[in-house]
């Protein structure tokens, strides 16, 4: 069985992620305990909310160290979704400046509208353009639409960490990847069939 730890740090839509993982034949465990992360075959960091609160909650639960050990030493496949992707960055500027998990170098900054009538937050379906092949996107063509709902985005420091781009206020980084660490800005658990396909692919890593 594929044991999937979904990190519960009081930030958002954990049930939807768990439900989607069940549809993909994974065994989700919603948890805020370090022991559960250590037992899992896969770890997902979901999240809706502000960067500052998110990091504070992870630190208060004492999970920062465990996450880093699991990811960097044991190389467990790790997926950050939405805020969970943003927390992979070095720092974020939502609700003050806060240090992130620093697993992928970069900063999380607010969208700057690049023309009149351009709305922030970025809410809705938009295409995800694959910059390099990755098994997460097996049988998912480039430029397919996924669901986004966010005001901040991940500005990557290194080009090689960029997995996908999406056109909005210029192009922003909609997925990052370094080794076993992946982050997606969109919500696969809310992107219907294609989203489930992506999560199934994650459970095959």
Partner 1 sequence: MIKTRIIPILLYKNFTLVKGVRFDSWRRVGSLLQAIKVYRLREVDELIFLDISATQEGRSPDFRLVDDFADECLMPLTVGGGVRKVEDVKTLLRCGADKVAINSAAFEEPEMIREAARKFGSQCIVISIDFKRSADGKHEVFIHSGTKPTGKEPILFAKEVEQLGAGEILLTSIDRDGTMEGYDTELIQAVADAVSIPVIASGGAGSYDHMLEVLVKGKASAVAAASIYHFTQMTPLETKHFLREKGIQVRI
Catalytically active residues, by annotation: 82, 187, 189
Rounded to an integer, what distance in angstroms lies between the CA atom of residue 133 and that of residue 125? 22
Helices (H), the chain: 14-23, 34-39, 51-60, 64-68, 83-86, 192-202
Is residue 91 within 8 Å of 97, Cβ to Cβ? yes
Is residue 98 within 8 Å of 107, Cβ to Cβ? no
CB of 96 to partner 1, least distance (A): 10
Among 75, 133, 142, 151, binds partner 1 (CB under 8 A): 151
Q: Count CB atoms within 10 A of the CB of residue 124.
A: 11
94 near partner 1 (CB under 8 A): yes
Among 66, 126, 174, 177, binds partner 1 (CB under 8 A): 126
Parallel, antiparallel, or unpaired for β 162-167 and 78-81? Answer: unpaired
CA dihedral 10, 77, 132, 178 (to 10 degrees): 80
95 near partner 1 (CB under 8 A): yes
Among 2, 34, 53, 59, binds partner 1 (CB under 8 A): 53
Q: Which of residues 33-52 bind partner 1 (CB under 8 A)?
A: 48-50
For residue 103, the 8-state DSSP code is: S
Applying CB under 8 A, which part among 72-80, 134-142, 148-156, 177-185 lies near partner 1? 148-156
142 near partner 1 (CB under 8 A): no
CB of 59 to partner 1, least distance (A): 17
Interface contacts to partner 1, rule CB under 8 A: 10-16, 19-20, 23, 48-50, 53, 83, 94-95, 113, 117-127, 145, 147-152, 167-168, 187, 189-193, 195-196
């Amino acid at each position: 069985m594929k044991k999937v730890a979904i990190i519960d740090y009081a930030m958002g839509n954990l049930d939807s992620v768990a439900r989607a993982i069940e549809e993909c034949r994974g065994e989700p465990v919603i948890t805020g305990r370090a022991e559960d992360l250590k037992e899992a075959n896969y770890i997902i960091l979901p999240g809706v909310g502000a960067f500052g609160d998110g990091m504070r909650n992870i630190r208060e639960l004492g999970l920062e160290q465990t996450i880093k050990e699991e990811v960097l030493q044991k190389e467990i496949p790790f997926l950050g979704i939405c805020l969970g992707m943003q927390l992979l960055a070095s720092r974020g500027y939502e609700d003050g400046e806060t240090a992130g998990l620093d697993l992928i170098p970069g900063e999380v900054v607010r969208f700057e509208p690049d023309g009149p009538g351009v709305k922030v937050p970025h809410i809705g379906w938009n295409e995800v353009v694959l910059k390099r092949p990755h098994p997460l996107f097996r049988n998912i063509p480039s430029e397919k639409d996924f669901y986004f709902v966010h005001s901040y985005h991940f500005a990557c420091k290194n080009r090689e960490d960029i997995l996908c781009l999406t056109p909005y206020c210029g192009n922003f980084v909609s997925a990052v990847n370094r080794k076993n660490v992946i982050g997606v800005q969109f919500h696969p658990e809310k992107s219907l069939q294609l989203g489930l396909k992506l999560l199934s692919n994650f459970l095959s890593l």
